[in-house]
Amino acid sequence: MIILGGLVVFIFIIIVIIVFIISNNSTNMETKTSAKDFFINLGAIIALGTFVGNLINLLFTVINKTYPLTTGYNYYGTYSISFPVATLIIFFPIYVLLMWLLERDYNIVPEKKHLGVRKWLTYITLFLAGLAIAGDLVTVIYYFVDGREMTGGFIMKVLSVLVIALGIFFYYISDAMGKLNSMSRKIWTGASAMIIIICIIWGFSVLGSPRTQRLLKYDQQKVSDLQNISNQIKNYYSSRRTLPNSLLETSNGNYYIPQVDSQNQKLYEYQKTNSTTYNLCAEFNKASDDKNATMPAVYQYNGDITWTHPAGHYCFTQTINPDK
């Protein structure tokens, strides 16, 4: 997906460069496009695409957490809004700044509104927004005709894409028709900023504050470490037909398995209870079924071990099957 996205951006830039060359040589009746005009217009469109894409990413992540799937693949992923929130905080102001620079230039030199690069970028944006609207509606009709269940999460995602795409389409069609003025642009900017702020607040209310997210990441790391330690203990038993008396005995020098809690720098607890059972213990910040947990309530490893845990000190009891 990353490679495909990079290829799309590369092709888009090539198209814009070609358009820039053509627009500069097509007619002498229009004001020539300077390098400044070209890069401000291009930067504004790239900033628009970046913050819109991350706004949708943010909404989809929150919707996935609010309306979790009850059927389908047994996939255990994480819910994180850190990157889309950071991108929105940076790229939306960049877009607003670039659009303000363009409007200032239009007030000084009104002929710049007719620059070829501006027209092409505007209509490319309209084209892509129209495709998004059409694709969104096609998806809804397809689900209806195919008899698929329209869950709350699906409807929320469809509405999110539809509202964002319609907003972009109507803004740029109004701009292309010359119906926008300084006041209406400020209204559009203020409304967009308010929507983004509300989405970020919603994300934090569903997934927790940055501090909560940091604590949950510690818990995820602890579960991952304990899973690796458990696997190493099994390998030890497989080769020696006995459980180790301590975690130090499991170190074979081939690769490093973390045995220290990265949060408090304490050794994970290992307790050999009999010849085939043992406990692995750690201190957890949140319960795995906490409403803000970034992973589902059930952690599964190798299909047969459940790693649910409450907050505080907790021990997982593991049993070795000698027949395996």
- Give the best-scoring range by mean pLDDT among 84-98, 101-115, 132-146, 178-192: 84-98
Q: Which tens digit of pLDDT belongs to each residue from 187-226?
A: 999 999 999 999 999 988 888 777 887 888 888 889 888 9
Alpha-helical (H) ranges within the chain are 2-26, 35-66, 82-108, 116-145, 152-176, 182-207, 210-240
Whole-number CA gyration radius for the chain: 27
Q: What is the pLDDT of residue 120?
A: 82
Least confident segment among 119-133, 168-182, 189-203, 291-305: 291-305
Task: Give the pairing type, strands 312-319 and 277-284.
Answer: antiparallel
Q: What is the pLDDT of residues 109-130, one digit of tens each?
A: 888 887 877 888 888 889 889 9
Are 213 and 82 in contact by the 8 Å Cβ rule? The answer is: yes
pLDDT tens sequence across 241-260: 888 888 887 776 555 667 88
Residues 6+ apart with CB under 8 A from 94: 43, 47
For residue 244, count CB atoms less than 10 angstroms from its CB and return exposed for 0-12, middle for 13-18, buried for 19 or more. middle
For residue 28, pLDDT beyond 50: no
| Per-residue model confidence as pLDDT tens digits over 251-288 | 765 556 678 888 888 889 998 888 889 999 999 988 87
Out of 3-7, 31-35, 151-155, the most confident range is: 151-155
DSSP secondary structure string for all residues of 212-270: HHHHHHHHHHHHHHHHHHHHHHHHHHHHHSS--SSGGGG--SSS----B-TTT--BPEE
Handedness of CA 54, 55, 61, 64 (dihedral sign): negative
Strand order in the sheet with 277-284: 269-272, 277-284, 312-319
Rounded CA-CA distance 140/283 in Å is 46
317 has which bridge partners? 279
Q: Which amino acid is at 241?
A: R
Q: What is the mean pLDDT of residues 165-180?
A: 91
- Under the banding of pLDDT at 50, 70 and 90, the label for residue 2 is very low
**In the prediction, which pLDDT does 167 show?**
94
**Euclidean distance between CA atoms 82 and 265, whole angstroms:** 25
Listed residue (95, 46, 84) closest to 160, CA to CA: 84
Q: How far apart are CA 268 and CA 260, in angstroms?
A: 6
Tokens representing 262 are 């990265």
**CA 110, CA 41: separation in Å to the nearest integer?**
15
